[in-house]
Structure 1
Amino acid sequence: MTIEHLDLEYSAEDIRDFIETAVATRGSENRPRFYAITGSHIYGFDSADSDIDVRGLHMAPAESYAYLDTPAEEVTVNMDGTTEGFEEYAEVDLRSYELKKFAQLLQSANYNIVELVFEAPTVMNGMPLEMDALQDLIREFLPMNVPHAYLGMAKSNYYKHLDPKKAEGYDPRAKKFLYVYRGLLGAQYVVEYEDIEADIFDLAEAVDGGDPELVDDLVAHKRTGDSATVPSALEERARDAITGQFNAIGEFPMPDKSGYRKALDNWMRKVRA
């Protein structure tokens, strides 16, 4: 999947130039390898003011790990405000992981990185065969603890933003309901299908108890203005749906990752070769 179907302010070529320049700022020997668009653009609820979230991996020379000063685990640009020198790309946020850190995140079943591998529209791919092999590798071991990660994200966002009694940053906007609901549906989807789906519309259609009409209404409201809190009737529907999904989630299977770490090591060794 490429980015041509996305309505972005920048072309794929522009974003690739940005990536190459950004990654080189932390070491001219860093080699950008794979990058894709993530965040709200693949979740199905981007709006006109949504940033363009670019995530991916680069490779530092393998021998650099033999020294006291090992390579930086990641390169970030425009993550907390605009990085000096990158004003032209102020709407693009970049987080590039060195290959080892990327594999460590996969080993911990980080759902953001798993989604990046499976679902994100690609803007740069200098290792297509290796990325196809990585998809096959991960799919062999799913669900692992990916459902637990999705559920943890949903709970964290709910108690942080949507629980009026506990939330320090109470913020009942459509965006917050969508993040929580997507996490709950994503957890169920991985268990039921042993696969990954990032788009909340597809999740609501596929998961038992999902409410596509609610998703339509929340996304429509988000796109009217991200600062707007939802009307009381829509908030009630969203809370009912979220409560229903929380209650529907039973015990997840115990994560079975036997052999997964070794498989990732073997994959990483081939990529560095």
Structure 2
Amino acid sequence: MTIDDLELEYSAAEIREFIETAVARKGTQHRPRFYAVTGSHVYGFDSADSDIDVRGIHVAPAAEYAYLETPAEEVTVNMDGVTEGFEEYPEVDLRSYELRKFGSLLAKANYNVVELVFEAPTVMNGMPLEMDALQELIRDYLPMNVPHAYLGMAKSNYYKHLDPEKEQGYTPVAKNFLYVYRGLLGAQYVLDDEDIEADVFALAEAVDGGNPELVADLVAHKRTAGDEILSDDLESRARDAITQQFNALDPLPEPDKSGYREALDDWMRKVRT
């Protein structure tokens, strides 16, 4: 998938200008390096009112870490309402990680940043060699605890939004079922293929027992009915699929990250040089 496939309201050039302006506010020495569109556009269930989630990496001068006032870990824009000065881009949410913060998230095998590296269509890539090398580095160590992270996300969303025993927060809408199902499918996919896939349609096709027809119906409901509660039939089908996938999930191995942190440190040194 490329940025042109997404049919966004803004061009890649406009989003790049937005990123450069936002990161420059933290200091002209902060260099924006790699950015991509993530979120529902990559998951395969974006709709007309979906925000454009942009995530990426900027690099601060290494010398700044020698002082008491160290570089900010993140630059965020429009994450909690529209940020002053960015009214022209109300639908674009930006989270830019300083390289050290990005590396720390990778060290934890955070599935959001792993998907950013592997799956997200880029809008800016000032270090293609380094990003290709990072993909190969991570792939050499998969599955690590990435399946655990996907399963944790699925369970968290289920108990937060889909547990009928909860008095508050129970919202059986298509989006919440899709997040839970995607998490369970993603966990199995990493175990099976030692690779990353973010799109829920592709996951449902690739994982044994996946239900592409259900995914299509949930996405269609999300796009046409928004946050309306599902029909009894569609909710029953979604719950059955989630239960079946949870029961079918292979045992998660003990995470093995031997040498991974050191390899990331080496990669980060080369990026910061």
TM-score, structure 2 normalization? 0.99
How many Å separate the matches in 2 of 1:62 and 1:226? Answer: 46
- Secondary structure of the corresponding residue to residue 191 of structure 2: helix
Partners of 2:36 and 2:222 lie apart in 1 by 24
- Name whichever of 179-188 and 25-34 sits farther off: 25-34
- Paired with 1:168 and 1:16, the residues of 2 have a C-alpha distance of 40
Checking the alignment, whether the CA contact within 8 Å between 1:159 and 1:167 is kept in structure 2 is: no
| Residues in 2 aligned to 1:30 and 1:2: alpha-carbon distance in whole angstroms | 26
> Secondary structure in 1 aligned to 2:3?
coil
Return the letter of the residue paired with 2:153: M
Tell me, in whole angstroms, the C-alpha distance in 1 between the residues paired with 2:92 and 2:197. 23
Which residue does the alignment assign to 1:12? 12
Contact kept? 2:35, 2:57, Cα under 8 Å: yes
- Shifted more, 159-168 versus 114-123: the winner is 159-168
Contact 1:164–1:170 (Cα < 8 Å) also in 2 = yes
Q: C-alpha distance in 1, partners of 2:76/2:124?
A: 17
Tell me how far apart the structure 2 counterparts of residues 250 and 178 of structure 1 sit (CA, whole Å): 20
Identify the residue that residue 208 of structure 1 maps to in structure 2: 208
1:272 maps to 272
Question: Whole-Å Cα distance in 1 between the matches of residues 185 and 167 of structure 2?
Answer: 22
Quote the Cα distance in structure 1 between the aligned partners of 2:200 and 2:88. 31
Number of the residue aligned with 1:47: 47
Q: Unpaired segments of 5 or more residues in structure 1? A: none
Aligned residue number for residue 90 of structure 2: 90
In structure 2, what is the equivalent of residue 124 of structure 1? 124
The 5-angstrom pairing of residues 105-116 of structure 1 reads 105-116=105-116
Which 4+ residue blocks in structure 1 deviate beyond 4 angstroms? none
Does 2:144 match 1:181? no
SS in 2 for 1:5: helix
Task: Tell me what 1:101 maps to.
Answer: 101
For 1:220, the aligned partner's letter is A
Which amino acid counterpart does residue 19 of structure 2 have in structure 1?
A: I
2:263 is aligned to 263
Contact 2:188–2:250 under 8 Å retained in 1: no
Amino acid at match of 1:35: Y
Q: 1:141-220, aligned counterparts within 5 Å? A: 141-166=141-166, 168-220=168-220
> Which residue number corresponds to residue 30 of structure 1?
30
Q: What does residue range 65-84 of structure 1 map to in structure 2 within 5 Å?
A: 65-84=65-84
Which string of whole-angstrom CA distances, capped at 9 and with x for unpartnered residues, describes residues 200-229 of structure 1? 000000001100000000000000132211
Structure 2 letter corresponding to 1:148: H
* Cα distance in 1, alignment partners of residues 167 and 129 from structure 2: 45
Contact 1:32-1:57 within 8 A present in 2 as well: yes
Name the CA distance, whole Å, in 1 between partners of 2:268 and 2:226.
40
- Answer yes or no: is the 8 Å Cα contact 1:178–1:218 preserved in 2: yes
1:246-257 → structure 2 map (5 Å cutoff): 246-257=246-257
Residues 232-243 of structure 1 aligned to structure 2 (within 5 Å): 232-243=232-243
Amino acid at match of 1:24: A
Contact persistence 1:147–1:186 (CA under 8 A)? yes
Q: Give percent identity, aligned residues only.
A: 78
Cα RMSD between the aligned structures? 0.8
Q: Residues 154 and 184 of structure 2 are in contact (CA less than 8 Å); yes or no, is this contact kept in structure 1?
A: yes
2:140 corresponds in structure 1 to: 140
Q: Is the 8 A contact 2:205 2:211 kept in 1?
A: yes
Q: CA deviation at 1:25?
A: 1.2
Post-superposition shift, 1:166?
3.1
Distance of aligned partners of 1:167 and 1:148 in 2 relative to their CA distance in 1, 3 Å threshold = farther
Quote how far apart the aligned CAs of 1:26 are: 1.6
The Cα shift of 1:135 comes to: 0.2
Work out whether residues 173 and 230 of structure 2, in 8 Å CA contact, stay in contact via their aligned partners in 1.
yes
Shift of 1:167: 6.2
Q: How far is 1:7 from its partner?
A: 1.0
Counterparts of 1:239 and 1:200 in 2: how far apart (Å)? 16
1:168 deviation in Å?
A: 3.0
Provide the aligned length of Structure 1 versus Structure 2.
273
Secondary structure in 2 matching 1:97: strand
User: What are structure 2's unaligned runs of at least 5 residues?
Assistant: none
